Structure 1
Amino acid sequence: MIDSGIFERISEFIAPLTPRGHAILFLSASLLAAGLLSGSNAAPKLLAAGAALFLLIVVEREIFLARAAALSRVKVRWAIEHPLVEGRRVTVKIILENPGLIPIEHLEVYDTPPRLFRWDKSTPPRAVVVLPALGVTEVSYSVIPVVGKHEWVGPLRLIVEDLFGFFRAERLIEAELPIVNVQPRTLDIPGRRSALPTVLQPGGVTRLRRRGIGTEFMELREYSPDDDIRLVDWKASARTGRLMVKVFEQESVLRVAIVLDALTTMFRGVLGETKIEYAARLVASLSEYLARRGDTFRIYLVDPQGTVYASPWLHGRASGSAARRFVAEKLAWPQADEATQPPQARAEAIASVLLRTLPRGKTIVFLISDFGEEEETVVIYAYALARLQALRHEVYAVSPLTTLFE
């Protein structure tokens, strides 16, 4: 009876063999068999050739096993440029560190970046490198990211082969894959005058008039004792015979809430021109504009499942970058099988959060949504948000439109 351990040892020996290795092993066995069965003078040569091939495979296997063991100890980390901005090319570096004394002369590296990222064909996410003993090697490639939170698809594949390609081992790295937050880019808001009102009155929107140094000249009036002497217009005073001062139009501080309603329909379309990308750019641009003005604002982001994320109230010059980071951290692209929350429940959830978190006093609310591309949904949202208007908040709905392709 044949010992089963023999077959296990044979199976263990041929497990890492490549098709080329199997072919060479078969050729070696064939030469040995031909030499044993042949009675001619060529038998010694056939035996010698078969034994030489078999010895070569055995030696290469031992060397390969040492390299495969070294591969299992290789340390991997990613180095990605920050901050990431949509549409801006970024370099991804995979740093491979070999802590052992055995070099790896042929190491294949295959990375899998997020599915929505485009990578440069001239620098694809794969390479063949040499990893020296106690050394470090880098693999670099470029990608063009998309706004939002993204995780590497994985796994990272590391493949090592021997010199002749007889043996091949693969290591899959699925843990500690990088997660990146890609910020939306900002767009320039044209025009010198404010894109937003400064004072809201029951009869409409007006601008606030204040004495003092403002942003735009409004009119001249006669001097009063509490006026700043620096505001005196000496030419007008000489012309009229009375002291005249300049009155400027000065902007007051606004309180603004920006709601980004990320319905699944917002993610449809051509990548780079989807509604969600335009909406994120609008949020970033409006936030940067409010930051430059010195206004106070807050970002609300509603994901497809109806979860509402709210940033803290932002104010100051650095608040624009804080708003972009918030959108990048909370905006995640949905999977194909994810469903959107029903419109009625979604509208009620948004209105409830705003009613609970908006302070007393008038706040300008921008709701950015395509309303599921349904007219009935617009009516549902209007009824739900009417409670905000009852509390004297100003609500504006912004529906992004994209270019249609036939």
Structure 2
Amino acid sequence: MAAPDVFSPTTLGPVRLRNRTVKAATFEGRTPYGQVTDELVDYHLAPVRGGVGLTTVAYLAVAPEGRTHREVIVVGDDTLPGLARLADAVHAEGAAIAGQVGHAGPVANGRSNGVPAIAASRMPSPLSMQLVRPASEADLTRVTKAYVAASRTLVRAGFDVLELHMAHSYLISSFLAPGLNRRRDRWGGSLENRARLARQVARAVREEVGDEAAVTAKVSLSDGFKGGVTTDAGLEVARLLEADGHLDALQLSGGSSLMNPMYLFRGGTPVEEFAAAMPLPVRLGMRTPVGRGFMKSYDFTEAYFRDKALRFREELSIPLMLLGGITKLETMEQAMADGFQYVAMGRALLREPDLLNRLQAGRSVEGVCIHCNRCMPTIYAGPGTHCPVALEVTAGRDATLPQT
């Protein structure tokens, strides 16, 4: 049977998508007061008008201590009107909208949030220079209920897809990683115990929303650090999630926002730009040998997670989203031939929000993102996540245009 056209309509659980492309969750930096802004709406409308089938709103926290920092949206009654406005705007352009539902766990900046961060086990936070406390049984019950409440709110707001964040050393991921989870209770030790929170959250969310929305999870192909989730362990977690039957798809990611962020991004390593955007203590730390070791360097190759993802594709039947350095039409077509149901893109669409329209129309065969990763520090520096190269190119072009 011929592979499907990546630009043909499809379904994701109960949701109809106009094509098989996904704008992956990339922190927007456009919610300075923890509320939806016009700038956030415009940020998502750009790739939607550019042809993407599903756009994903990043870092929607289920609880105050689950924010990466204080500007992040906490899903609740007070943020519902703005979220509904965002969903309506996306739907008006013919696309679907996903909300990345998450608890940052040890990736949360407790000092910025004004609430202590929690994780699987006690650990120091390089972000807040505080100790992250181990989550109690009461915490885990509360957080699970918070996932349910946030998911219900997003469905009320009109969101089509709920993406449960289970990667990048966020709370659920911190339980999965043996190096971060040193517990001796029912949440630690064996992989089945360490996967208990992931499975509990997936089940609770599905039971709450039923078929009112698609439910997916972002999972790890490999965390990229000693003591993190390996590919073998990640595959076993995926098998457990598939067997439970609560999810409509898995998005395959990797790396750790806490331990090895560049494992996810590949390409340029903008250490100086990152250091300049950080608070002084973190800035000084990043300029030490230890800090520079945190920002490892990985060469960029097209679809750099494909080899690991193929193992998941061979052993699982659940629909999968391929992510990681996809910039070429032939890569997207190969993903369909490999049996992946969707392709997810981040930096390529940040550089060129209209890339998919041009690929579909035959005006381009690949994006122009140079994988310098200079977009990453703009998360912290403002006025919102953006591609500095695109701004520089635009400024150069504008300078050559006739003045009227």
TM-score, normalised by the number of residues in structure 1: 0.25
Please say which structure displays the higher CA radius of gyration: 1
Q: Which has the higher contact order (CA 8 A, sep 6+)?
A: 2
